[in-house]
Amino acid sequence: MSENRPDGVVVVTGASAGVGRAVAVELGARGKRVALLARGAEGLKSAAGEVEEAGGQAWIGVVDVAEASAVEAAAASVEESFGRIDGWINCAFAGVFAPTWEVTTEEFRRVTEVTYLGYVHGTLAALRRMRPRDHGTIVQVGSALAYRGIPLQAPYCAAKHAIQGFHDALRCELLHEHSKVRVTMVQLPAVNTPQFDWVVSRLGRRPRPVAPVYEPEVAARGICHALEHPQRRERWVGASTALTIIANSVVPGVLDRYLARTGYRAQLTDRPDVDVPGNLWQPRDSTADAGCHGSFDDEAWRHSIEGWCARHPVVVGGTALSAAALGGRVLRARR
């Protein structure tokens, strides 16, 4: 257990649906006080009910993370009315599915303001409170796409790359001043969330996550584990995340050509992409709740072997040592 494990309030952005909501509910199940920030009022209300039903306490704030002053005001309200902020999880994002040349400059700006600057705004609000106390943990929810850009998602991939650079720089600065404030990043695989029904798309067919797909609860467990054990600079959830990041570090050019051949088809469903209002400018869950899950429950993985191993290193290490010792005895016996 980390000495920096948060005992106060944990703030979660993007908490009205998808991964952010699953994280909030997981924190509730661990008995935490959770401040839920997002744009969607109805989604927030339902998510808060799930947090309390799971065993936690909930506080909600309708906030657009693209607005720095709104994020700062929400953080101040949390501490004034709910409790000291000891953890902050940045999870809110936006995206556009289209070839780069079909994305407008305004859409690039909006995705950047939400997905990258929203993390900056949340991080700065957290640091203003954590650094004077020399205590707290900030988790940046990333993606394998923070390392490996894919076609049809240039604004999102670029924002995730920016978060990665921001995280690296901030971590160095905190280490330089010997701060006990911890920052860590969790890189996720494709997750079955409502975003694929909400996102702005110009593909002719509705988009889908690239297989293999994981349920949001898998991501939530990895994120909460990182919050409670923030010593590592980053964690990877899902074997596909690890394979993508490692392959990109070794043969990025090969991946360029592979994704050029397969990346379009892998992100398309058979459903027509007609008259679907996106959530880029307005929330889709302001009047109707969408929950955590998207439309891909029939194929989504509910567990991650890699994630389980990351959360149980002692068991994995002991098993590996036992296997090595057994192998050594077998080898000696054969000799």
Active site residues: 156
- The residue type at 144: A
Both tokens assigned to 87: 């953890």
28 near 40, Cβ under 8 Å? Answer: no
- Cα distance between residue 225 and residue 315, in whole Å: 16
Burial class (CB in 10 A: 0-12, 13-18, 19+), 39: buried
Q: Rounded to an integer, what distance in angstroms lies between the CA atom of residue 127 and that of residue 112?
A: 21
DSSP character at residue 65: T
* One-letter identity of residue 228: E
Element (H, E) at 176: helix 154-176
By CB neighbour count within 10 A (0-12 exposed, 13-18 middle, 19+ buried), where does 328 fall?
Answer: exposed
CA-CA distance, 143 to 1, in Å (whole number)?
A: 25
What are the tokens at 242? 């690890």
- Where b means 16+ CB within 10 Å and e means fewer, 92-120 reads bbbbbbbeeeebeeebbebbbbbbbbbbb
The structure tokens 């600057």 sit at 117
CB 286 within 8 A of CB 40: yes
The DSSP secondary-structure symbol of 15 reads T
Residue type, 93: F
- Please give the helix or strand (H or E) that residue 88 lies within, else none: strand 85-90
